[in-house]
Amino acid sequence: MAKRQTPLRIIPLGGLDGIGKNMTAFEYGNDMVLVDAGLMFPDDEQPGIDLVLPDYSYVLENEEKLRGIIITHGHEDHTGALPYLLMDLGRKVPIYSSKLTLGMIEAKLQEFKLNSPKFREVKNGTHINLGVFSIDFFSMTHSIPAALGVYMRTPAGSVLHTGDFKLDQTPIDGVTPNYQAICRYGTLGIDLLMSDSTNATRPGFTQSEAAVGPQLRHIIKNATGRVFVASFSSHIHRLQQVCDAATAVGRKVVVTGRSMVNNTKIARELGYLKISQEDIIDAYDVKDIPDDKIVVLCTGSQGEPLSALGRMAAGEHKSFTITSDDTVIISATPVPGNEKSVQSIINSLSKIGCTVYDRSNTLVHVSGHASQEELKLMLAMTKPHNFMPVHGEAVHLRAHAKLGLKMGIKPDHIFIADNGDTLEMRNGKVTWGDPVESGVVYVDGLSITDADPIVFRDRQKLASDGIVTCVVTFAPRSKKVGDVEIACRGVSFSSDEQLISEAQDVVREHVSVTAGKDGTSVDMLRKNARNSLSNFLWSKTHTRPMVIPVVMEV
């Protein structure tokens, strides 16, 4: 009986349930390559959580196979989990990416005090071998310079991973997608295409980044006071256009916000952001420059309350206070879930009386992701035998799958996967494999923890209903209940002295009955205190705050 061929296993660990925490493992025998290691920001259902990471336990369980980590570009949803992964790995693994991306990663790792990572710079046209994986890199256009796609060949077949992309014909840095390489790979044969699905529901083409420049220059030229531009700190192309517009009309550029300062410094040092030293000044030097000669680059495009723009809007920034004479440009699209925060910032700015421009009233932002016609062009150039939409929510993945059908890919050759699902490739043919453990882990302060629904339930209850603590003193020998003290936080009846007094009497009465029985334990008294107080508050207020009973033996 012939031995069955070793399969190439494609294992998405993140990125298929939202825009974020992208991570995919490729495994063949004793070799594994990881593409991207991103994070996601928490939503309203995850109170108190700082960051959401993919569950990479499968990678840790097989770390002896891990030959390298490939990062397609420098956005947080592709790099943010890397520090946590590197801390958990038992050995140093080489990281392959472009010069700019490695520079951003290095700055991030220094914050975590992770020194001497094994960086390996790659660029358009670079070829590497990692175990059985033969890997080629090719340039793509996105909303950050030096974005790369990946073409990998294995004994079981070939895969092309686009990374995040749009087909921009007039990119700011002049680096267009490597169409020649993409078409060549299509001719060589692509057994599986993994393609960015973020804008799969948008018809037409995504506008070029160059379309934003003239509008930015018009606004900056005609502004009478200072101009504040809020953008993603990693959107170097956008920052370049702001700098170009500012210097063209005789304004100096000021940078504020920690990530904005760090990323502009890295991009300038590596030659990706071009502005002369005399045109970019420190925030402390602005007092000597007229307001109509200043453009401020800042963080806060997502409505983050602690960002530079958020603190300015609240009047809490140490260097800048926005006035009615100023102009604010919010040059980004809200990430899903951030719409309310962004609108809150806009409302605060409107109350100040300044002029606000955002995507709703002028062309100050374009997407960095391909729309439907570009996605179809990618399918036409690559001519894949099998297709797996990646990077998106369920609606995006399914919309992209429909485009694949229109482009002639057979229905049973299109794979809409969830995180943890596995595809297996043998001789270029793709089938479903056995799923692996997947999910998310949370960064909660200094701890990294699994998803515990009880913790979130308690936090949501505290946020919605408040908390009441009840301290009961109890003498075990005499079985007498003494003082009952009740304290409230986050409840509307905390100042109602009569209600609190009645609640104390109810608790004392119920706990006294239980205390007088033989065999009564402290746990039973606590349970009785909780139930009696909770029922009383419901009967009087129709609210159910979290009740924490404490029984003190005296």
pLDDT in tens, 415-437: 999 999 999 999 999 999 999 98
Give the Cα separation of 265 and 245 in Å (integer): 19
Which residue shows structure tokens 């602690």?
306
Each residue's pLDDT tens digit, 290-323:
999 999 999 888 877 778 898 998 888 888 999 9
Give the whole-angstrom CA distance, residue 402 versus residue 232.
31
Q: Please state the rounded mean pLDDT for residues 470-494.
A: 86
SS3 annotation, 365-410? CCCCCCCHHHHHHHHHHHCCCCEEEECECHHHHHHHHHHHHHCCCC
Residue 49 identity: I
Q: Which two tokens stand for residue 383?
A: 């001519």
Q: What is the per-residue pLDDT across 269-294, written as a single tens digit (0 to 9) for each?
A: 999 999 999 999 988 888 889 999 99
Tokens standing for residue 215: 């509008």
Written as six digits, the tokens of 330 are 């919010």
| Global pTM value | 0.86
State the number of CA atoms in the 13 A half-sphere of 460 facing the CB: 10
Q: Is the pLDDT score of 32 beyond 50?
A: yes
**334-363 pLDDT, tens per residue?**
876 678 888 999 999 999 999 999 988 999
Give the mean model confidence (pLDDT) for residues 148-158: 98
Work out the number of other CB atoms within 10 angstroms of the CB of residue 27. 25
Buried b / exposed e over 238-247, threshold 16 CB at 10 Å, is bbbbbbbbbb
Q: Which candidate, 200, 113, 118, 186, places its Cα nearest to that of 149?
A: 186
Report the alpha-carbon distance of residue 142 to residue 166 in Å, rounded. 6
If one counts every other C-beta atom within 10 angstroms of the C-beta of residue 43, the result is: 13
Q: How many angstroms separate the Cα of 297 from the Cα of each of 259, 287, 356, 550?
A: 11, 16, 15, 52
In this structure, the number of other CB atoms found within 10 A of the CB of residue 61 comes to: 11
